[in-house]
Amino acid sequence: MRKRIVAGNWKMHKDLTSAIELCEAVAAALSPEDVENTHVVMAPPAPFLMAASDVLSDCDFVTIAAQNCHQADSGAFTGEMSAAMVASVGADAVILGHSERRQYFGETDALIAQKIKAALAEELVAIYCCGELLADRKSGNYKAVVGAQIEQALFDLTAQELENVVIAYEPVWAIGTGETASPAQAEEVHAFIRSLLAQKFGASVADQVSILYGGSCKPDNARELFACSNIDGGLIGGASLKAADFVAIVKAMRVKDEA
């Protein structure tokens, strides 16, 4: 069975106190049944990674992710953090290539490919984000765009390296807009991504890669998205900032066991 994952991307929100409170509230609200087949990830801002990982050290179903890392091991890169630094404060994963990093910080697929290599070298799981702009969706070009993002960032990896990659399909027009891709729209692209991975790495490898949906995923639409066969979970932005909403989205994953 593919790993089911619900990951919260807090972006640049919270302070230390409310970050710790959110971690504690999420861990306390989930029952063993809720997380029997679902892995929960929380990605707080970098200054809170260590506190979050300390607070959750006794909780075996929630792990911590960073929202970015630099591609180099170390060096004169003021303001940056390496993958080794992320790992050293207790994070298990790092989100890479988020559309906000692409849009506001000029990250390209080539750069993100280097970051993925750096993360994997430190045994972090790389949560690689891809997704088309509204113009690509409207022109019908979205598969070509997403396909190029997958190819350029992931096709230099070995099948073994790919085992530690999680893909998040996040159509940019759905992020923070309240507009969600329909289950059919999301499933189409997820299946397409998996077919690309199958062509390159083989069907059995592709079948093991978790592909998350992101973009205005909320308690009221998570179930219908998670019911889709190629959607293995969600990368949640706004709704991950409130414990009740995030927990409801984690619980929505149980739809997969009801079939």
Q: Which residues are catalytic?
A: 98, 170
Closest distance between ligand PGA and the C-beta of residue 124, in Å? 18
Size of the site for ligand PGA (CB under 6 A): 13
Q: Which of 4, 5, 9, 68 binds ligand PGA (CB under 6 A)?
A: 9
Does residue 93 belong to the site contacting ligand PGA (CB under 6 A)?
A: no
Q: Is 97 in the site for ligand PGA (CB under 6 A)?
A: no
Long-range contacts of 155-164 (CB under 8 A, 24+ apart): 155/200, 156/113, 156/117, 157/116, 157/117, 157/120, 159/201, 159/202, 159/205, 161/120, 162/197, 162/201, 162/205, 162/209, 163/205, 163/208, 164/120, 164/123, 164/124, 164/125, 164/126
Q: Does 182 bind ligand PGA (CB under 6 A)?
A: no
Judged by beta carbon, residue 62 or residue 201, the one nearer ligand PGA is 62
Min CB(217)–ligand PGA separation in Å: 5
* Interface with ligand PGA (CB under 6 A), residue from 237, 245, 249, 251: 237
Applying CB under 6 A, among 36, 176, 207, 257 the residue interacting with ligand PGA is 176
Q: Which of 91, 217, 228, 253 binds ligand PGA (CB under 6 A)?
A: 217
Q: Say whether residue 175 binds ligand PGA (CB under 6 A).
A: yes
The one among 22, 27, 120, 236 contacting ligand PGA by CB under 6 A: 236
Residue nearest to ligand PGA (CB): 237
Of 238, 247, 251, 253, the one binding ligand PGA (CB under 6 A) is 238
Residue 189 or 201: which CB sits closer to ligand PGA?
189
94 binds ligand PGA (CB under 6 A): no
Q: Which residues bind ligand PGA (CB under 6 A)?
A: 9, 170, 175-176, 214-217, 235-239
